[in-house]
Structure 1
Amino acid sequence: MKHVAILIPNEAVLASIVDARTIFTGANDFLQSVGRQPVFDVHMIGLAKEVKVHGGMFSVHPDLLMSELGKTDMVIIPAISGDLDNAVKINQEFVPWIINQYKNGAEIVSLCIGSFILASTGLLNGKECSSHWITADKFRSMFPEVTLVDGRIVTEQQGLYSSGGATSYWSLLLLLIEKYAGRDIAIMAAKIYALEIDRKSQSPFAMFTGQKKHEDDPIKQAQEYIENNVTEKISVEDLSSKYAIGRRHFERRFKKATNNTPVEYIQRVKIEAAKKQLESTPKNVNEVMYDVGYTDAKAFRTVFKKITGLSPIDYRNKYNKEAAVA
């Protein structure tokens, strides 16, 4: 039996606790239904006998206190909510315990923005991590030594697992079911819980809002200029000249402030504008392409797919209700 410890952090997202417990205990039921032995020994672990979550709206009663559990094979860190600085701070008592479990051979699994607790242990320093795309800027500012791969659904390095935003954690949970209970049980779980198996990217769900939480005013002005002139062809030379900064220095400052090169930022702004039109207007792909300043259809399709994971027509069919009906 593989011992699974589902932590109950302060200010945890209740759904991620329930879903993690459901899929592991459910996998045991599925195994027994086909005449096989259960694989997972699942326990909920807390710092107190009662943990209030969602601002005190709900209470969770752990099976064991953290101090009562000597060793586990897998630690599940559910998503957390609220002010992330505070949520990390009030859960620091878990940190040395998580580090010790990892050193003793346990796998550590963070769901959605449970990644903030995992990153606070230092175990991810120098490694990659997935998390919710909406908290990407905050994550990078708090944990600069971790490489955030915010478009990826699941990341695993050296026994440290992390997942993308919100229900993306189901993909990670299915991966763990497949790893320890078999592909057939993972498929059964996917079918019974109506989940999409083998999903790789959260890019189709991401919304690009820019990164303006910095103090570099000329770069902020350049960002606003890009966003206000989405139909125009804008070059890096144009921008560096406009703000009287040498090109190489401008590119370095832009990358440092936004985590994107100027070219990447221009592309992301244009593609975000294209996404909104594909979602909500009857325009065809070529019309949208011209509206956001592209004239080369191949280049537009290439950049669109790189950023969203979908072709423009597939994106339109997925999110535009009228297009889907047609």
Structure 2
Amino acid sequence: MSELVQPSCSALTVALLAGPDATASTLYGMYDLFGSVGRDWEFLMSGRMGEPLLAPMIVSRDGRGFRAANGAWIEPHARLADCPAPAVACIPDLFVAPDAPLEGYAEEMAWLRACHGQGAMLAAACTGALLLAEAGLLDGQDATTHWAYCEALAQRHPRVRVHARRTLVVSGEGQRLIMAGGGTSWIDLALFLVARLVSADEAMRLARINLIDWHHDGQLPYAALNSTRQVDDACIARCQIWAAQHYDTHSPVAGMVKLSGLTERSFKRRFKAATGMTPMEYLHTLRLEEAKQILESSAEPIEAVAEQVGYAEPSFFRRLFTRRVGLTPSQYRRRFRSMRLRLQ
């Protein structure tokens, strides 16, 4: 096998921040994609390694190897203090709970602020956006993160404008804050950065080499709609269990009110306080999540699916599904039923 060509001194430095909660897959996936730019297309076309146009570098606070959140070993190239001024500083995803405080990241946040102050772009994949927000860099800005973390980000940082639907958000002065949503949307982020740092042609070559397809429809179709965590209020928790079993019945809100023993007004106020949703919003969520499962696993007509989950009017079901999921029921079925069939 040919020896890899090392980046020249003219290659732009892309710093990849390896924090304590980093996962190796995104970190090294980004490292591989950035290292491929300018090098691998030439190799495929001529058999000779091209000159790398980007110089990815994994950096951490102390430069020492450590065990990642998913158990893989990460070996940084340098300490934060020794990292050359990067063209872009990237934060891969962080394996933390949505509402967990980011403690122990003071050095990383100071470094990110310094990089930004020196003119570098800052890019965050998935939950990496939480660190940008914690550093105060997203105040007054548009942002996105993994769909399961958007609500927590908005609550913890109310000055940040969170866009749960979008897989890629570019914001800030000079458009130097770039964030990708959940899962493999870090690949969209890498392609965008390559196009901006080098050229659109190089980004297209990278996509062709790796068979990459852009996440055109955003991340909402992949999201689990139901926020059905059990609550501390025992009365409302009992109603949640009942709703999960009777969401398809006529007047399920009235059924929950009756079960609670409260007045309708008191029940609705208490339910909203406990779950963050009105009873009807909660039931729509349960119904649409069940509809997604039916669309994935059966070929039943859309009208039958609507009726099965409790909607007498298929047109209302279609409008609600499209608004909440980001795809029509038919579009959702085409995408996810074929995927499920292939997996089976």
TM-score by length of 2: 0.79
**Counterpart AA for 2:310:** G
Question: More displaced, 156-165 or 311-320?
Answer: 311-320
Please identify, of 16-25 and 261-270, the stretch whose mean Cα deviation from structure 2 is larger: 261-270
Residues 43-89 of structure 1: per-residue CA shift (max 9 Å, x gap): 22111232323348333222221011363221100112255677822
Equivalent residue number for residue 232 of structure 1: 249
Q: Which runs of 5 or more residues in structure 1 are unaligned?
A: none
Percent identity between the two aligned chains: 22
- Answering whether residue 289 of structure 2 is matched by residue 244 of structure 1, we say no
Q: Which residue identity is paired with 1:276?
A: Q
Q: What's the secondary structure of 1:89's corresponding residue?
A: coil
Greater Cα offset, 313-322 or 69-78: 313-322
RMSD of aligned alpha carbons:
3.5
Distance 1:165 1:246, change over 3 A: same
| Aligned equivalent of 2:180 | 163
**Unpaired segments of 5 or more residues in structure 2?**
1-10
Contact 2:243 2:252 in 1 (8 A): no
Question: Could you tell me how far apart the structure 1 residues matched to 2:122 and 2:279 are?
Answer: 36
Please identify the structure whose Cα radius of gyration is greater: 2
- Checking the alignment, whether the CA contact within 8 Å between 2:91 and 2:123 is kept in structure 1 is yes
d(CA) in 1 for partners of 2:81, 2:104: 17
* Matching residue of 2:137: 123
Deviates more, 1:185-194 or 1:53-62: 53-62
Cα distance in 1 for residues equivalent to 2:340 and 2:42:
44
* Per-residue Cα deviation, 1:184-205 (whole angstroms, up to 9, x for no partner): 2222212211211252411121
CA shift at 1:161, angstroms? 1.7
1:57 paired residue number: 71
State whether structure 2 residue 215 is matched by structure 1 residue 205. Answer: no
Against the structure 1 CA distance between its residues 67 and 213, is the aligned structure 2 distance closer, same or farther, given a 3 Å change threshold?
farther
Q: Give the conservation status (yes or no) of the 8 Å contact 2:98–2:149.
A: no
Counterpart amino acid of residue 189 in structure 2 = L
1:160 to 1:223, Cα distance in 2 relative to 1, 3 A: farther
Asked if the contact 1:10/1:87 (under 8 Å) is kept, the reply is: no
Deviation at 1:291, TM superposition (A): 0.7
| 2:37/2:202 contact within 8 Å kept | yes
> Aligned residue pairs: how many?
323
Equivalent-residue separation in structure 1 for 2:281 and 2:40 (angstroms): 46
* Partner-residue secondary structure (3-state), 2:123: strand
Equivalent residue number for residue 90 of structure 1: 104
What code does the residue aligned with 2:164 have?
Answer: D
Residue 22 of structure 1, aligned match among 20, 32, 35: 32
User: Which of 7, 11, 18 does residue 17 from structure 2 map onto?
Assistant: 7
